[in-house]
Structure 1
Amino acid sequence: MKKLSIFCLVSFALALCGSAFAGTLAFWEFNEQMPGTPTVMGQRIVDSSGNGRDLYVALGTEGETTFVEPNPHYGDGSSMGFTADANRLFFEPGYDFGDGGPVSGSQINFGVWDSFTMETLIRFPTRNDDGDLYCAPLGVIDPETGTQIWWRVRNTNNLQFLVKDDVGVQSAFNVAPGSTAPGGETVPNLYDGNWHHWAVVRDTSTSEYHMYVDYILVASITDSTGTVTLSVPWGIGGWGPGYDTRNFVGSMDFLKISDEALAPEGFIQPTPYAAEPTPANGSYDLPTASVELSWNAASGDGVTVASQTVTVASDADMSGVIASETVAGNSVSVSGLEASRTYYWQVETEGSVDGEAFSSMSDVWSFATVEAVTPLAAYWQFDGGSPGSDILPGDQLADTSGNNRDLLVILEDEPEIGGAVFGNPDAYYGSLASFEGFSDNQLTVTESKIAVPENESLTIESVVKFSVNESSLNAILATVMSEENNYWYGVGQSQYWFRTEADGTLRFWVQDVSGNSNSVRGSANIYDGQWHHVAAVRDAAAGKIRLYLDYALEAEVDDVTGDINPNGSTTVAGIEGYTSRNFEGNIDFVKVSRTALGPAEFEQPVAVPSNPDPVDMAIDVPTSYTYSWTPIPEASISSETLIISEDPYMRDPVAQIEASGSSALVADLKFNTTYYWQVETAGSDSGGSFTRLGPVWTLTTPSCTVDVYHGDLSKDCVVNFNDLAILAGNWLMSGL
């Protein structure tokens, strides 16, 4: 078990925080600050061995090294999060921190008969984004003598460790992942996003070096080295000065150097914890009446379990607790769950190891319950506000499917041109409003993801409109990995998304839990300022994925994917963590169905007034003019009202005129002004009674070429006898 203390306060007594470990030369636990706190230049990072070999933080080329979440199975506290160009950590003997505390302790050297053990707990992202990067837990190289010790994962993923002594004799490991360890195990690739315990041992009693990964011996070599005398700083999370391409990328929970050759049982051990959950983490479509949760209890040599407490919560942070129970066995039944919900659970274990008490938490696992309504999974209509009203971070946008997948609005980036709003709808779908988003701004997210089993189909349909000037990627809907999992595990994770490409074409992409992926892309450019019905379909029975545009099949490919069960959220109008995919345009609705729909089963448009006169976007329309339109066909119309406004969202109308015969006289508008107008129709058709707003059309009145200076006293854009009459009246009133 790792941690002796949590977040030791920075003071003159830092070097004494904790107690000295017998045989420990240095022990850096990175517990100075809470997770999420960046380091600062010159900060002291404590050596808790009691030997005073504190690290100092040195300037990187970009960003700060940051305290991050630790591996919870090795104790509380923090770990250190490194990026390639962030601040760096050094152990320099005698370094004066300038804080009034002790200088850093003495150099670490090794004689010809000195054994040692170096062990660390590390986590690397799956993707090594910089192909030249060699992630090094530590390194120290004396440029004058050539004496050196370094430890790294090469960019080829090989595990390497080298010692070169004072006379130039060296011993070095170069262990390839996938190779066979002495015990027959396969050597893992540490670039896998998971935590690994990694150790190197020099055993002078046998003249051997040994390398261990996760307590398993992966390689041994002959020790040919002698005395190692160093006079330069040690780099922790990299090599010494001048070796920027060896900087560590990932998290380091601790690094410990001991002055003896330890066996695996002498390494720092994890606290025993519950594991192997049933149902498996991420399971879905579980019943609401009762779910049986079970697990393997904490185990190991000398482990005694005294109690286990199971907690079930509504959120991944385990703050919204809905049930907690201490159980005698390794299972518990949870009942009274809601449909269409994701739940999270965890097991706390109290016990002892060889008489020493411990308390541990399992990982947080999740499961999702069955849908309340099928096959409809979600239906977001964006009718919760009137056009022109703001959509603010923290707002909830209702899912009207009955499956409770309300959207939570989050601010993904600082707005450049204002926040998202409720926009005008596409009148052909009878909506009251639309979602009108702006790039680098709002994003909507739901915690209750929509998974797609191997034998199930999926349909995503939406009605969208983009500006003719649009040129970016716009995600309509995505169910992807979480942002954290994207960092650690990268590509190859289960996900799907439906978006437009930069050229305005549609694209639907799916990837299953095994990494198999499919993509289908359209050819038509919908960045044209018009509303379009778009749909993406995964047809499991036919083995196809399809794209539809305005009810016509646009593209189709064979589907090679199986189970699609992303571990992140379902996102509308963007992709969580990718601001470059935020939606810039209008979405009238998004509807998700767990079945393969065809055009006849898609949401169908309704009839609305059409053929406006003046035509949409007309210019130089007289300020007094008789407006007309074609009424809703095949309907019994009881009334039509023309509404006209200077506001594009039709707020504060300047006139509402009862029409006669699908026409109405609009008089006394202002010159050089843009107006917006629509027709509200009340009546009935085969679907019953309705009150329906038509499309919003726009027009501009003529510009004036004369003003009061030119004699236009009546301000009607002409100079005539009316103006002379006004002038004459003014003369009479003046008494001249």
Structure 2
Amino acid sequence: MKKNMFTLVLGCFFASFVQAGVVAYWTFDEKDPGTQATLGETVLDTSGNGINLEVTAKSDPNMTFVEGNPDYNPFGSAVYFFPPSTGQVLIPAAGGPSFDLGVDYTIECLIWLAGPITTENGFLAKRGLPGEYWYRFDEPNGRPNFLAREYVKDGEVLNSGGKVASENGIGAEQWTHVAWVRDSVTEEYRVYLDGELVLTEHDELAGVSYENDGSVHPVQIGAMDPDYDSAAKRFHGKIDFIKVSDEALSVEEFVQPIGKPSDPDPASNSVMVPIDKVFGWSSIEGQNIISETVNLSDTEDMSNVLESAVADGNSISFSNLQKGQTYYWRVDTLIDFGDDGTTIIEGDVWSFNTPSCVITTEEGDLDGNCSVDMLDFSILAENWLRSNEYE
């Protein structure tokens, strides 16, 4: 039997944004990966505002909890909306709970679209009087699309006054942080992908709150409209979290990934790196770091580890580097996440190669830089002075 797509519907009343800060924060961490969603179960709003979600569907919900994005939360789950059948989505009656967007807001989400992207992936929507709004990710590249319409400003009904469609898509089967920002001060809509501004557009409805009575349907996540008897209007993919704020946030205020070690010294792909080089990096910021382990390999996939050592600080020297070789190295960070436990965050793989020298140490290249220069004479002079100490 084919399963029909479900939607998540708000489980308690919330009329408007009345306080600055986080309004709702759904992390979808209630269940372990591999757990099937069940009808009527609750997805908690972790902001503490009690705007919980309820799973509803025509039959068994076509959703399961899966592994989330470890770059943001190594312990969390995500919800996976499987590509559904053509069955109609059902939601509670018009008298259900309400949720409205104000004159300023930021909607952040961590999204993974199932490929190929051949649909209008309805992400979040609410329809009623006096207007409606929806968010979706459109074919062919998953470009963020938003529309608010039938709202009144200065006595005029604007049917498409809030349309924002970015040409930049998030692509298929890769995690992307998406942020829609509405700013009443600048009268702009802004769209960010992984913290990069990809669209700025004038807000023709600036100053108008997107309130409606939900008489067609209350806010729902996972589909645009229950009246569409088509899979083309439903979300296909994974959602790690959704965070709604009642402010126009800056990039620095977005939910941030845990991060990885950065700024390698020498820079990745460096050439002619001396074999006695002291290697350095910038550690992950804002985390309780227990230790950093540095791994050296001669294979890009780090399958053949030549050296592995816990660093004292954020620098290290390798003891057995050979000339004329290409090496790969990575810094893995053990982090304490408190009650959640500890986990290792693997860093990026950086590479370098050492010089291939015609001249040898015996021939005068004392510093290993493949040339006889003043530094070699300095080393020779220092060695001569040291040797005289014992005469």
Q: TM class by shorter-chain length?
A: 0.5 to 0.7
Q: State the 1:110 CA deviation.
A: 4.0
Q: State the 1:349 CA deviation.
A: 4.6
Tell me which of 198, 204, 217 is aligned to 1:218: 198
Tell me which of 167, 171, 178 is aligned to 1:198: 178
Q: State the 1:33 CA deviation.
A: 0.8
**Distance in 2, Cα, partners of 1:248 & 1:140:** 15
Tell me which of 135, 146, 149 is aligned to 1:151: 135
**Distance in 2, Cα, partners of 1:276 & 1:126:** 34
**Distance in 2, Cα, partners of 1:227 & 1:268:** 24
Q: State the 1:66 CA deviation.
A: 1.2
1:117 and 2:116 matched? no
Q: 1:271, 1:360 within 8 Å by CA — same for their partners in 2?
A: no
Q: 2:333, 2:346 within 8 Å by CA — same for their partners in 1?
A: no
Corresponding residue for 1:250? 237
**Distance in 1, Cα, partners of 2:246 & 2:258:** 24
**Distance in 2, Cα, partners of 1:272 & 1:235:** 32
1:127 and 2:116 matched? yes
Corresponding residue for 1:138? 124
Corresponding residue for 1:394? none
Q: 1:303/1:48 Cα in 2 relative to 1: closer, same or farther (>3 Å)? A: closer
Q: State the 1:254 CA deviation.
A: 0.4
SS at structure 1 position matched to 2:151: coil
Aligned residue type for 1:72:
P
Corresponding residue for 2:163? 172
Q: State the 1:34 CA deviation.
A: 1.0
SS at structure 1 position matched to 2:210: coil
Q: 1:30, 1:46 within 8 Å by CA — same for their partners in 2?
A: yes
Q: State the 1:137 CA deviation.
A: 2.6
Q: 1:35/1:322 Cα in 2 relative to 1: closer, same or farther (>3 Å)? A: farther
1:84 and 2:83 matched? yes
Q: State the 1:190 CA deviation.
A: 0.8
Identity %: 28
**Distance in 1, Cα, partners of 2:94 & 2:307:** 53
Aligned residue type for 1:25:
V
Corresponding residue for 2:41? 43
Q: 1:116, 1:202 within 8 Å by CA — same for their partners in 2?
A: yes
Q: 1:58, 1:90 within 8 Å by CA — same for their partners in 2?
A: yes
Corresponding residue for 1:616? none
Aligned residue type for 1:164:
R
Corresponding residue for 1:228? 210
Q: 1:146/1:22 Cα in 2 relative to 1: closer, same or farther (>3 Å)? A: closer
**Distance in 2, Cα, partners of 1:89 & 1:269:** 34
Q: 1:274, 1:349 within 8 Å by CA — same for their partners in 2?
A: no
Q: 5 Å matches for 1:25-424?
A: 25-59=23-57, 64-75=62-73, 76-85=75-84, 107-110=98-101, 114-128=103-117, 131=118, 133-142=119-128, 145=129, 147-157=131-141, 158-167=143-152, 168-169=157-158, 170-177=161-168, 189-225=169-205, 226-230=208-212, 231=214, 232-243=217-228, 244-274=231-261, 296-299=281-284, 307-310=291-294, 325-328=309-312, 329=314, 347-350=332-335, 361-363=344-346
Unmatched tracts of structure 2, length 5 or more: 1-11, 14-18, 269-276, 297-304, 321-328, 351-391
Q: State the 1:276 CA deviation.
A: 8.7
Q: 1:89, 1:235 within 8 Å by CA — same for their partners in 2?
A: no
Q: 1:46, 1:55 within 8 Å by CA — same for their partners in 2?
A: yes
**Distance in 1, Cα, partners of 2:43 & 2:264:** 37
Q: 2:145, 2:163 within 8 Å by CA — same for their partners in 1?
A: yes
Q: 2:32, 2:65 within 8 Å by CA — same for their partners in 1?
A: yes
Q: 1:37/1:166 Cα in 2 relative to 1: closer, same or farther (>3 Å)? A: same
Q: 2:113, 2:238 within 8 Å by CA — same for their partners in 1?
A: yes
Q: 5 Å matches for 1:472-511?
A: none
Q: 5 Å matches for 1:586-601?
A: none
Determine which structure has greater relative contact order: mean sequence separation of CA pairs < 8 Å that are 6+ residues apart, divided by chain length: 2
Corresponding residue for 2:372? none
Corresponding residue for 1:727? none
Q: 1:54, 1:91 within 8 Å by CA — same for their partners in 2?
A: no
* CA deviations over 1:62-85 (Å, ceiling 9, x no partner): 863111111112122111112221
Q: State the 1:91 CA deviation.
A: 9.0
SS at structure 2 position matched to 1:36: coil
Task: Specify the structure having the higher radius of gyration (Cα).
Answer: 1
* CA deviations over 1:246-289 (Å, ceiling 9, x no partner): 222222110011111111111111123236999xx9xxxxxxxx
Q: 1:79/1:295 Cα in 2 relative to 1: closer, same or farther (>3 Å)? A: farther
Q: State the 1:116 CA deviation.
A: 0.9
Aligned residue type for 2:100:
N
**Distance in 1, Cα, partners of 2:330 & 2:167:** 37
TM-score with structure 1 length normalisation?
Answer: 0.34
Q: 1:242/1:363 Cα in 2 relative to 1: closer, same or farther (>3 Å)? A: farther
Q: State the 1:60 CA deviation.
A: 5.8
**Distance in 2, Cα, partners of 1:359 & 1:153:** 35
Q: 1:26/1:332 Cα in 2 relative to 1: closer, same or farther (>3 Å)? A: farther
Q: State the 1:32 CA deviation.
A: 0.4
Aligned residue type for 2:110:
L
**Distance in 1, Cα, partners of 2:111 & 2:148:** 21
* CA deviations over 1:412-453 (Å, ceiling 9, x no partner): xxxxxxxxxxxxxxxxxxxxxxxxxxxxxxxxxxxxxxxxxx
Q: 5 Å matches for 1:446-465?
A: none
Q: 1:45/1:305 Cα in 2 relative to 1: closer, same or farther (>3 Å)? A: closer
Q: State the 1:200 CA deviation.
A: 0.8
Q: State the 1:206 CA deviation.
A: 2.1
Q: State the 1:138 CA deviation.
A: 1.3
Paired residues, number: 294
Aligned Cα RMSD in Å? 4.6
Q: 1:55/1:240 Cα in 2 relative to 1: closer, same or farther (>3 Å)? A: farther
SS at structure 2 position matched to 1:308: strand
SS at structure 1 position matched to 2:209: coil
Q: State the 1:297 CA deviation.
A: 3.9
SS at structure 2 position matched to 1:265: helix
Q: 2:37, 2:61 within 8 Å by CA — same for their partners in 1?
A: no
Q: State the 1:214 CA deviation.
A: 1.2
Q: 1:25, 1:49 within 8 Å by CA — same for their partners in 2?
A: yes
Unmatched tracts of structure 1, length 5 or more: 1-13, 16-20, 96-105, 178-188, 282-291, 313-320, 336-343, 353-357, 368-736
**Distance in 1, Cα, partners of 2:51 & 2:306:** 46
SS at structure 2 position matched to 1:74: coil
Aligned residue type for 2:106:
T
**Distance in 1, Cα, partners of 2:181 & 2:251:** 10
* CA deviations over 1:149-189 (Å, ceiling 9, x no partner): 21112113232111225334221111113xxxxxxxxxxx3
**Distance in 2, Cα, partners of 1:236 & 1:36:** 20
Q: 1:235, 1:241 within 8 Å by CA — same for their partners in 2?
A: no
Q: 1:275, 1:362 within 8 Å by CA — same for their partners in 2?
A: no
